[in-house]
């Protein structure tokens, strides 16, 4: 339950110790080329360097390890909904714990992501036109079968697990000025903002979403929960129709700002990351670099960390990025 709960530094520190055997610390590297291009001291937190190639492994590990500690042998098959990366992470952790797993995705999730989730041992259910519909179907399935539902956006354990990324950043860069985080459901942005407020209160955490999926950003700025159907975007893992009250509440409390970026700039940023940093990512993972370029005047001279949140790119996405115009 999350009634009145908020992520805490103590919870994030406990999560670090809990997940470390399964989730090693990810690289944090400075990019000389991108620093010069953007006029700031730019660092890249490579969350693609996990067993399932995204930050999602952090929260999934913390949630399921906590569930096992609470429930023991009573922990039954695992259920989750996902646009890809969360499902892949939950499936990987469930397999490591020896538990059956069901992952619900929308019908628009690509065959490659479905196959990767299935390779981890999960049964994939493709239902509905978007992640919100898949989530609702997964909850019903879990309730009807008395399975354990890993709720991305509503689980405090999952959010504090995601916040472990900020813990690593804060201890590596004590003078960090800003951390840019991609926003899908808002779980990573919320966990990061809460952890950074406790550890490095001078650092501004800024959320980034594609402009055709503005529901989280607009809800943040208008201070009310909106419902906005998303348009098509290259950053499909960030597309949302509605907010989650728990994560939105944390964002209202802790996030410094939220920005929107267009798909053209996301593609150019994807190209820049490949060419200048030699780092593999997916389009959804580089929205923060697109935002850093768009808002480079606001970041000039500052020490900035970009959370490159996932590396599950297809060959077609990489080809599209390499065909995009350069940032400069």
Question: The tokens 């103590």 sit on which residue?
Answer: 10
Instruction: Please name the fold of domain 9-55+157-322.
Output: Rossmann fold (3.40.50)
Residues 6 or more apart whose CB falls under 8 angstroms from that of 21 comprise none
Token pair recorded at residue 260: 């929107």
Tokens of 177: 């000025």
* The predicted structure's pLDDT at residue 307: 98
In the chain, list all ranges with CATH 3.40.50.1100. Answer: 9-55+157-322, 56-153
What DSSP character marks residue 273? I
- 7-45 burial by CB neighbour count: b if 16+ within 10 A, else e? bebebbbbbbebbeebbeebebeebeebbebbebbbbbb
Measured between alpha carbons, how far is 130 from 142 in angstroms, rounded to an integer?
Answer: 19
Sheet containing 204-210, strands listed edge to edge, beginning at the edge strand earlier in sequence: 28-30, 41-46, 303-308, 178-182, 204-210, 257-261
C-alpha closest to that of 44 among 316, 315, 308, 318: 308
pLDDT in tens, 230-286: 999 999 989 988 998 999 999 999 999 999 999 999 999 999 999 999 999 999 999
- Using one digit for the tens of pLDDT, what is the confidence trace for 133-184? 899 999 999 999 999 999 887 899 999 999 999 999 999 999 999 999 999 9
Cα–Cα nearest to 57, from 195, 194, 187, 162: 162
Burial class (CB in 10 A: 0-12, 13-18, 19+), 117: buried
Nearest alpha-carbon partner for 218 in 249, 227, 83, 135 = 227
Residue 31 pLDDT > 70: yes
pTM of the model: 0.94
Share of the chain above pLDDT 90, in %: 88
The pLDDT value given to residue 251: 97
DSSP state of 260: E
Q: Give the per-residue pLDDT at 1.
A: 44
What pLDDT, in 10s, does the model give residues 193-203?
999 999 999 99
Mean pLDDT of the chain: 95
Q: What is the pLDDT of residue 214?
A: 97
CB–CB of 60/89 below 8 Å? Answer: yes
CA 215 to chain centre: 16
Q: CATH number of the domain at 56-153, please?
A: 3.40.50.1100
Identify the three-state secondary structure at position 213. Answer: coil
Instruction: Using pLDDT thresholds of 50, 70 and 90, give the confidence band for residue 108.
Output: confident
Closest CA to 291 of 197, 182, 202: 182
Is the pLDDT score of 3 beyond 70? no
Nearest to 160 by CA among 279, 77, 58: 58
State how far Cα 205 lies from the chain centre: 14
Average confidence (pLDDT) over 205-225: 98
Predicted pLDDT at 143: 96
pLDDT exceeds cutoff 80 at 322: yes
Mean pLDDT score, 42-55 = 97
Instruction: Give the pLDDT mean for 17-33.
Output: 97
């Amino acid at each position: 339950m999350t009634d009145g709960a908020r992520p805490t530094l103590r919870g994030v520190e406990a999560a670090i110790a809990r997940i470390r055997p399964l989730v090693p610390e990810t690289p944090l590297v400075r990019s000389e080329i991108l620093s010069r291009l953007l006029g700031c001291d730019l660092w890249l937190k490579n969350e693609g360097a996990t067993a399932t190639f995204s930050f999602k492994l952090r929260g999934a590990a913390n949630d399921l390890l906590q569930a096992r500690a609470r429930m023991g042998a009573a922990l039954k098959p695992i259920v989750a909904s996902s646009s890809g990366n969360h499902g892949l992470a939950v499936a990987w952790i469930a397999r490591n714990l020896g538990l059956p797993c069901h992952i619900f995705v929308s019908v628009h999730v690509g065959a490659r992501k479905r196959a990767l989730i299935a390779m981890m041992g999960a049964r994939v259910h493709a239902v509905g036109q978007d992640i919100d519909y898949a989530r609702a179907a997964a909850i019903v399935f879990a309730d009807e079968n008395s399975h354990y539902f890993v709720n991305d956006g509503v689980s405090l354990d999952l959010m504090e697990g995601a916040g472990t990324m900020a813990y690593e950043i804060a201890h590596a860069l004590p003078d960090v000025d800003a951390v840019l985080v991609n926003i899908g459901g808002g779980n990573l942005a919320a966990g990061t903002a809460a952890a950074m407020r406790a550890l490095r209160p001078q650092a501004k955490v800024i959320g980034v979403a594609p402009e055709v999926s503005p529901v989280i950003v607009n809800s943040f700025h208008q201070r009310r929960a909106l419902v906005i159907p998303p348009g098509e975007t290259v950053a499909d893992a960030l597309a949302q129709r509605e907010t989650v009250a728990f994560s939105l509440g944390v964002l209202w409390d802790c996030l410094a700002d939220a920005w929107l970026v267009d798909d053209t700039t996301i593609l150019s940023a994807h190209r820049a990351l490949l060419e200048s940093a030699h780092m593999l990512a997916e389009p959804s993972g580089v929205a923060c670099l697109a935002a850093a370029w768009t808002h480079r005047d606001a970041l000039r001279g500052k020490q900035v960390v970009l959370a490159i949140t996932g590396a599950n790119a297809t060959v077609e996405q990489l080809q599209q990025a390499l065909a995009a115009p350069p940032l400069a």
